Chains A and B, each alone.
Chain A
Amino acid sequence: MKEITRRDFIKITSAGLIGAAISKPVFNFIPPFLQKDHTPPLESELTKSPTVCDICFWKCAGWAWKDKKGNIVKLTGNHLDPHSNGRLCPRGTGGLGAYYDTDRLKRPLIRVGKPGSQKFKEATWDEAFDYIVDKMKQIEAKYGREAMALFMHGTTGPHFEYLWEAYGSQTYAEPAIAQCLVSREVGFIATFGQGLGSPEPTDTRNTKCLVLIGNHIGENMHNGHVQEMSAAIDHGATIITVDPRFSTAAAHSKYWLPIKPGTDIALLLAWMHVIIYEDLYDKDYVQKNTYGFDYLKDHVKNFTPEWAATITTLDPNLIRKTAYEMAKAAPAVIIHPGRHTAWYGDDTQRERAIAILNALLGSWGRRGGFYLPEKVDLPKFPHPPFPEPRWSWRTITTDKFKYAIAGVTNVLIDHSLPEYDGPYKIKGWFVVATNLIQSIPDQQKTIRALQNQDLVVVVDILPTEITGYADVILPEATYLERYDLIRNNHHRTPNLALRAPAVEPKYETKPGWWIARELGIRLGLEKYYPWKTIEEVLDWQLRQVGTSLEEMLKVGVKHFDRKTPLYIPDGVNWPFPTNTGKIELYSTDLAAMGYDPMPVYKKHEDPPAGYLRLIYGRVPMHSFGRTINNPYLNELRSENHLWVHPKVAKLMGLENGQEVWLENQDGKVSSFAVKVRITERIRPDSVYLPHGFGQKSKLLHRAYGRGALDNELITKVNLDPITGSTGMRSNFVKILTSKPQKANS
């Protein structure tokens, strides 16, 4: 039995303390009067304003609480909010650390010296804008407006997407799509005619059986889902977790299937086989709603649990037993689609298999399966029509990836490289709230692309690694200091949520909407910005649906009536927006595009001798690399550990806490050491490294050099031929026990 004791915890935290003592200002935000009378203020002595958390994409609505001096003292959830149900996750609760972080970007910076020299001088906003506009005009004259690419993330993204469309470039990508969920969306669109969106409409709190495949709810703190999984545990739902690692979800599961990585499709096909050939599928539902059942039946004929067992290394009886559990619970069963699904390059097909299995069990549109989400029909603020660009992300993407539904960052990077000499050249990068060096695999390529640009602008809150490659850095205000567009995500009931500033922007930072508008006006796009402040836009929009900014400032979240049913009503012939109007077990779209119309298992590479498969994942107190420097969250987890099975540890003579380095199949070595954690919780053929640590920007004082960054070791990317999704799980590592020459200090 191995415990982390309080003493360890204190050790961990006191290490944080030493860091804090060096960068003393961390303590600034403990309101001084509290240090004297030691009594925390009552909520009745505080004032609150509505916010929407920006620490991750879940976008929980909450309240920012301020004391009499105007300091933000805490953040809590809004009880009206279906994303948070009044409870923020640890990252959201610690979100005030993002505001108080003294490492923040404070004022605009312009590069001095050679490109990539990483030397900057402080500038005024006017100087920064002048520099950018001048360069953008030069790029436009030489290559056209389309040559300015936009990479964006999060709630700041839409302000710049609007600017780009007004400017006349649709050369943009949201890295988070191809790196994460595009294959899942397309897999479900090809099956049900619609994707899942966010939050995924899984009716988890009402389910009787939840199947998680490589989806670690509880380590990913997708707030509403974590809460609903807990509710499902309360009422005795069966949880089945398929994961090469004994995840937190596995710890709460009735069944754990420690699958061999890369073989999930074989398992899914075997489950389909059992459910079809043992007559366990929802006959009425399948007959009424699906297309291609006979093709599918024939397709999975030979995919028995025994066949899958040899591939997945799982016990065939366990495969059968878990299929029975699903069938018993149906239709209140969820084979969860997951979210980060860019794994092996056949991800759309794996997601198709998940979608098909749900269809066979009749869970789509059913209580305890997937509900039918609805959102508010919120009109956009009127604007003149956007100019049509000569080419866009579509031009350069959909010839290769026929089912791509959004720009693929890797494709944009390819068009930014010096060796690209086609007609669709990218010569300027505008990078909004995304650290591409860390989030995109094959870092060297990204850096070469960056160095080939005539202009690189980065808009961010922290001096992340990519800011070092910028010509101009624009410091954005945090979510606690700004308005953004109304949150209008679908859910069980349509609802809107407002993010309003709790405080004025610190330093010389500015809200994203302001930065985009100012730049737009300087680019001669005044007609797209007939408003002065975003409050005008928000109030206009809100009034169209019968509320107002004034009301939203009081309530934070407002619900609206549904117009459509939450579940498919009995006896109704539900229209599915696919070619056949049915759930397509056999995909006519995929067939027409020349892809496999039904999922096929294809073998993926095994680790070469002496190598282990690199599995990455998340810790619940961080949002990837974005929060590692947050003073509160850094304290909870300041570095990652490499999970190693005891057998491997014994073989290599490794000890708990020992520092090691990693070298991947292409000879790439981790920059920093990582400590070993010997644990039974991982398969012996794999190692596990939580993502986001090992930050390389020295300006992130708490995060720099603590642990190893998985992304550095992901040099092999398997692009999904259907969507362009960037599969990152076919990378293998060797453990090095002494410091290699290539590593950093």
Chain B
Amino acid sequence: MKRFRRLLRVASRSILKNRMRSLLTSLGVIIGVAAVIVMVGIGAGAQADVEAQISSLGVNSIIIFPERGHSGNVSLGAGTKNKLTLEDAQRIEEEATLLAGVSPIVRTGAQIIGGSGNWSTSVYGVSPAYLDIRAWKLESGEMFTDRDVRVKAKVALLGKTIIDELFDGNDPIGEQIRVRNTPFKVIGTLGEKGQSPWGSDYDDVVLVPVTTGLYRLAGGRYISMINVSAASLEESDAAIDEVTEILRNSHRLRPDEEDGFRIYSQADLMETATETQRVMTLLLGAVAAVSLVVGGIGIMNIMLVSVTERTREIGIRLAVGARSADVLAQFLTESVVLSLVGGAIGTALAYSVTHVLNNVVGMTTVVRPAVVFLAFGFAAVIGVFFGYYPARKAAMLNPIDALRYE
């Protein structure tokens, strides 16, 4: 214990005596550690952003699309086998046991006129369950009801972008808009949802009752897709199987016939998206690791540059009776202390940089303790290795050779 304290004293004295060298040595560690933490933090932040966005869509959401390859005139002969209808949605709603909500969706592009101008957007015909399925909140007003759906009521809910474009952000409830010349009454506004992970604007939308959308706007028999939500995330896969079964029955498919529809779950999408982000994080981490290695080489350079002076010092210590182990313990302590101090400063630096990124630049960065430990540990290992290795060589010399070293 007493020896250890003496060792620390000698090491810290040596560090303070050679301020410039100590600073340059630590600098490598500082930059390396800070770079790793910030880079990985940015990657992890982007990942967290995507996750938050996706889960804001409703993590349990499952979407059923008609099969594209068979759509259109080619497969008309096959009747409704690869089209989705309101009846399909209804059967799912009646028969499924693992679902929390079902909403058929009819999507039409339309020019709408209202307020101060006109705007081209997507009009979604949906059922009242749609908002819950998508975890979408009402900003004001109310959602249309099942009755509205039955009577094909001409009521609409507007997304934030529409409100901004047509009403300059003023409350549009009670106002009239015209969609393809059909007048609709605005009964509610939707909460802001932002951009999709793929860059489209969720808020650029008008919601109307699905029957209204289908018969008054789209003027057809087929719906665009069906959006359902599983009762729980765990049962998502079972729910997909169930829906598949119901739809196959509804379409009277023989066992050897293909589905004619595709089912995507939000969970799948999330996995894909986070996978992409994980690769990003890994890449950033690799860049950061390179900077750590470069920092390490910097440390090594400083150590090697000062090797003549240090070898003489080691010679003096050996000449007055230090054992090789004594000298090595001192140099080891020195480089451990320098690496730890450098690592601590680097970590502090990284935290301030991410703080600025989060609060001033407005980015999301997530600093994970595991990354801090990893960066810290790696820098320490490099610092210690390059501090120790040249010293080891010198300590193994004859004292007189160390003293004469040039």
Decide whether A and B assemble into one complex: no
